[in-house]
Structures are given as C-alpha cells and as structure tokens.
Homo-oligomer: A and B are copies of this chain.
Amino acid sequence: MDDQSISPTYASPPSGQVTTGPIEGSVKVWSSPPGRDDIRVPFRDIALDPSANEPPVRIYDTSGPYTDPTAAIDVERGLPRVRSAWLATRGLDATAETRVVKPEDNGFVSADRLVPSCPAPHGVLRGRTGQPVTQYEFARAGIVTEEMIFVAHRENLGRATMVDGAEERRADGEDFGANIPAFITPEFVRDEIAAGRAIIPANINHPELEPVIIGRNFLVKINANIGNSAVTSSAAEEVDKLVWAIRWGADTVMDLSTGRNIHNIRDWILRNSPVPIGTVPLYQALEKVGGVAEKLSWEIFRDTLIEQAEQGVDYFTIHAGVRLQHVPLTAHRTTGIVSRGGSIMAAWCLAHHRESFLYEHFEDICDIMRAYDISFSLGDGLRPGSIADANDAAQFAELETLGELTKVAWSKGCQVMIEGPGHVPMHKIKINMTKQLRECGEAPFYTLGPLTTDIAPGYDHITSGIGAAMIGWYGCAMLCYVTPKEHLGLPDRNDVKVGVITYKIAAHAADLAKGHPAAQVRDDAISRARFEFRWHDQFNLALDPDTARQFHDETLPKEAHKTA
C-alpha cells in the first residue's frame, strides 16, 4: 500500500494532542430547541452542490467539540461543563465528604510511571435521599429535565420538515411492536424513561456530557470499547482513543482499561468525553485484589463503585445475574463462560460455594448508583461464546434473573439496560429480543453483535454486523461494536474505525427497516447524488467520506471525474 492510499485522518495526532478538525464535507452546527437557548444540541450539516438545489442534510453527531474548528481543545482543561447549570438547580449535595484516591486505584503504579491526574476542575455531587436524582425518578415524577429536552431535539435532527411524510415512512417499515413517533417531544422522552423503555446514562458528576437516549423507540445507538495500552506514552493518547471512536459515530464508549494508572486515565477520559462512559467496575476491583477472583469482596467492590461514581462514569456493567445455581448449567458447553465478568463471578461463587455478592448486595448497589444517576447495564456473564452454545439454558436462566433485577433497580429509582449476546445464528436472534423484552419489562437491550458464525476470525466485525443489524431491527436499542481483531488481538486505530463504521451501518440499516421517519433522508440524498454523478456530495454524505474519496481516487483520480 503506498502513501497515497493512507488517509491523513488515519494518522495519530501529535503527542499530547487529540484528533481535531471537521469531518470532511461537514460543518459542525449547534441548534437550540425553541425557547431554550441555554441548551445547545450538536449536529453536522452537509452542504450539497448548488446544482442539487437541495438544503443541507443534517446529521446526528457524536463527535463533541473536537470537530468544531471554533472550539479551543485542551485536554488539561477538559470540555465545557454544559450540564453544570442544569444540575445546579436540582438540590444535589456538593458538600458531602468524598473518597480519597488510594494507591490501589492506579494499580500500585510506581511514582516514575504515574500518569498525573487530570488538572481539569471537578467537584463531586451526590443525590439526597427523598429527592429525585435520576432521570428515571424525574420522569416518574412527571418532570421533564434538560437532558430530556436535549435528546428530544437531538433525535429529531432539528428538522421540522421531518414531520412531512413521517407517517408514511413509519407505515412502510416493520418495527415489531416498537412505537416510534413522527416527532419526538420532551414529554415523549419522559414517558419512555418513566416506563423503563429508555435511559439517558448521565452521571451527575459528568457535566461535560452531551446527553443521548437509548431505547427502541429512538435511533439505534452503538458503543465502542477502548482500553489502555500496556505502555501509555501520555494521557492525551488515551483520550484520543475516545475522540477517535466518537469522531466516526460511537454513541457511548466503554473504558475497559486494566492495570496501572486506570483511575487517573479514567479521569482524563471523563473530563474530555461528550458521550456517556461505561465501565465494568469488577475489572478494577479484581486488580485491587491482585487478580485473584476468590479474594474479591463486597467491601472492595463497593469502594470501587463509589470511586468511579465520583469520577462521573455514566453506566456500570454489573454481572449480578451470574448466580451460583447457574454455573453448573455451563458445564457441557462448547465454549464455557467467555464473558470476563462472568468468569470472575463464576470463579468466586465456586471458590466460596455461595451466592454471588453482586446478587446478594444488589439493593445496596442500586442505592449507590441511584445517588449519582449511574445507569445499570446488567451484564450477560453467561452469554454464548459459540454458535453451539447460543440460547442455551445457562444464557436464558441468567436473562430471567436480569429481568428480576431490572424490577428491583426500577423500584430503587435506577435507570436500567440489559446486555445480550454474543454468538447466535440468524434464526436464533429474534427469540433473544422477544424474550428480553418480556423478561425485562421492555428495558433497553444492548447486545454484542451477535456474531452469526464462528468461522471468520479477522472478519468478526462482519459476522457480527449481520447479527447487529438484525437485532437492531427487531428492537435492540444499542449495539456494542466488534472489531476485526476480535478473538485475535487488540484493535489498532484503523480497527476501531472499521468497527465503528460497520456498526453505524448496522444501526442505520435497522433504523431504515423499522421505518424510522428520519432515517431515509440521508439515503435518498446520497442516492440522488449518485444518480447525478455529484461525486463530492456522495463522498460527503457517506459514513466515511475519507475512505469513499480515497477509493474513488485510486482508480479515477482526476477532478474532472468527480463532477462529470
């Protein structure tokens, strides 16, 4: 591959910096809902060639201020705290004693290898008992929050014109019982959250967040996982993994870092993240006991939850559905327990021969997560790791437990989504969605793929993109990406981009099939551009303008070929 074929945007930014600059062909815009100039919702506008005689196409945008050329980006200062003013009116406790950072939080890193903490100012808030804190509690109380107004405006893509033909588009789709309205109002958002059908993961200690809603009556969302490198050259390098993933469309990012410096790196990520950050606190708790599962305890886990809660993590994967009684159900599996969290909890249960401390302390966990409005992502520790194990007794027993826990979490005022598989052949995907909706009272489903065959390592973004598109269509609210390196190694910069773009395809294909009234606008615009040979418009409207342009230029590099 020669230099010409490497897009400049694939290159890493200079040391100490993150990737900035507009996405090719797009202009970052901020739009406010009527009467709420204090709420600025991000979009991208793609202007078309004058010959098209069409207005710009407005696109949902997750990339934060990084793609706004007028924004001053400084990872040491962090992003603007857009939610601070909203949070200031909610009677939250800003004076409570906060947790002190301990050596084990950063994996006992030696002083010479310590990544310093992020200097961006960060005050810690905590909810009070008896007053609403979570979006769920506000919604149940009939209150519309600024976050709800924000996501309503965001989901509508700011286009009043979307209402035209919206009913026809919905009728033309097949949504399997979902209920996507022609226009999203803040009240609709509130009602969906109150019903438990949607969540806005938004820790009160993450004021930098641009809120996003996850639920099957909204645009399908995608998550990208990132993790620290074995040797970190700088905090900015870790932040750039986030920036890179959201540049291409990740709606949320899970930080799955392990080992040294993870507390401080998490701080840098949160202070610089416009998207919800999820974690698996169990991973850090395990680090604190030297990686020995049986040494885990409720006390260490609880302390880790508070540590991450104060930092501002927006959702926690909690593997409370792996019960002692479920472990024997995996004995005859082809691939046993493949979830890391599931393996840890199964090992703990077997070592102590007692019920999981996550299950036993579930109400305590709810109390902590409610106090910061951290959403549950109830982990599927027993998800199938192969086609052979799909939809087996272990998987479904856990799902039934997750349904039971969902109701507990709701009763405690928490927002909840449910994690799902995994490896599932096409004909067994729909039952996963149907059963999840039934068992978990329509709480949002959040699946990894699923991968529709096991035989293509190196291409599992594709084996899983097929399953992701299908389950998104059937009603899955968020799709966790899989990169080409799945099963083989750690993804690099290009793998992350390919994974994100593949999942944007899956999510968008699902939106189209559901008859989402706003989805086909972009397809129609790019199809008209294609038919009229407006090449620049076709590139700019693409999910990945750089690659589209590069592929075209490889064979037809002349400017004349782009406007012909």
Contacts and interface: CB of A to CB of B under 8 A. Distances in A.
A463 B512 CA distance: 12
A163 interface: no
A316 interface: no
A505 B387 contact: no
How many copies of this chain does one complex carry?
2
Interface string A424-442: 0111000000000000000
A86 interface: no
A426 B509 contact: yes
A528 interface: yes
A470 interface: yes
A64 interface: no
Contacts of A343: none
A510 B426 contact: yes
Nearest to A230: B555
A544 interface: yes
Interface size range of chain A in the complex:
35 or more
Given A452-B509, A512-B453, A524 B462 contact: no
Contacts of A459: 501-502, 505, 543-544, 547
A203 to B, nearest CB: 32
B526 A454 contact: yes
A508 B522 CA distance: 31
A552 interface: yes
A527 B489 contact: no
Nearest to A484: B551
A520 interface: yes
A456 interface: yes
Contact of A386 (B6, B335, B458, B527): B527
Interface string A471-490: 00100000000001101111
A505 B453 contact: yes
A513 interface: yes
9 closest A-B pairs by beta carbon, nearest first, are: A489-B555, A386-B527, A426-B513, A458-B547, A174-B427, A452-B509, A427-B513, A454-B523, A488-B551
23 contacts: A173-B427, A335-B531, A385-B530, A385-B531, A386-B523, A387-B512, A387-B524, A388-B523, A423-B527, A426-B470, A426-B510, A427-B515, A452-B469, A452-B509, A455-B505, A455-B526, A456-B543, A457-B526, A459-B502, A462-B462, A466-B509, A489-B551, A489-B555
